[in-house]
Amino acid sequence: MNDFLIALQFLTRITIKKDLIITEDNFGKSSFYFPLVGFFLGCILALIGYVASRLFQPFTTVIFLIAAEVILTGGLHLDGYMDTCDGIFSGRQRERMLEIMKDSRVGANSVIGLFILILLKIGLLLELMTTLNIIPILFIMPLMGRWAMVYIIAFFPYARKAGLGSYFSQSISKRQFIHITLYSVFIALVMLPVKLYLVLVLTAFFVHLIAHKINKILLGHTGDTYGAVNEMTETLYLLGCVVISKL
């Protein structure tokens, strides 16, 4: 329970217990619960989506959903996504890319990347609201993003010598990743309609491609790229749901 609360309070703005005992060991092991935290966020988003859709038009509902996720997470993953855009699209050498990603200043690439990401999410969520019951999809969207983070932690090296992300990379084995995947898949199969099961496989496939490409460029991953992959995974998942719903 302590590890779950650490994961919850690290990945979100939700504070359950202020005096949590946090060590390097249990901080790293808390990543076992990342997808579960994602599902918890999904439950909140589903509730917001359900209520908002009965009070507002689809566009307003979508804005509420996107704003709610940013507020609940404190923009943690978006920040990583923006830093990753600045670094990777700078076209510099690996070491310089990592320096740029660590720089707190906002560059043009991150602004463009954020603009594209938010527009895509708005468009895809609007599409889904007109073709499917969006509530089950919202339950699983954050779970998929956090599962992707754990996949990277388990299978790819950490690109820096030190950092918060290094604690995770030292704590999750491939065997533990299998257990994480099993409980994540179980939740997804229970919540999603059968028609969307294929989306899980397609999303996982593209997560691997993206993670492999980033690894090739940076010779590993960082906390920023964990967040970036989370954001891209959520968007790919929504895209997959739209495509499959049209078949």
Q: pLDDT of 24-58, one tens digit each?
A: 888 889 999 999 999 999 999 999 999 999 999 99
How many distinct structural domains can be found in the chain? 1
CA distance 105 to 98: 14
Residue 118 has what pLDDT? 98
Asked whether residue 68 is assigned to any structural domain, the reply reads: yes
Domain that holds residue 85: 38-246
State yes or no: pLDDT of 166 exceeds 80.
Answer: no
Residue 42 has what pLDDT? 98
Write down the pTM of the prediction. 0.95
Q: Which residues contact 120 (CB under 8 A, 6 or more apart)?
A: 235, 238, 239
Asked whether residue 104 is assigned to any structural domain, the reply reads: yes
Q: Percentage of the chain surpassing pLDDT 70?
A: 100
CA distance 155 to 170: 11
Q: pLDDT of 179-188, one tens digit each?
A: 999 999 999 9
Residue 1 has what pLDDT? 81
CA distance 222 to 247: 37
Q: pLDDT of 3-19, one tens digit each?
A: 999 999 999 999 988 88
Asked whether residue 12 is assigned to any structural domain, the reply reads: no
Asked whether residue 5 is assigned to any structural domain, the reply reads: no
Residue 212 has what pLDDT? 98
Instruction: Give SS3 for 62.
Output: helix
Confidence of residue 116 (pLDDT cuts 50, 70, 90): very high
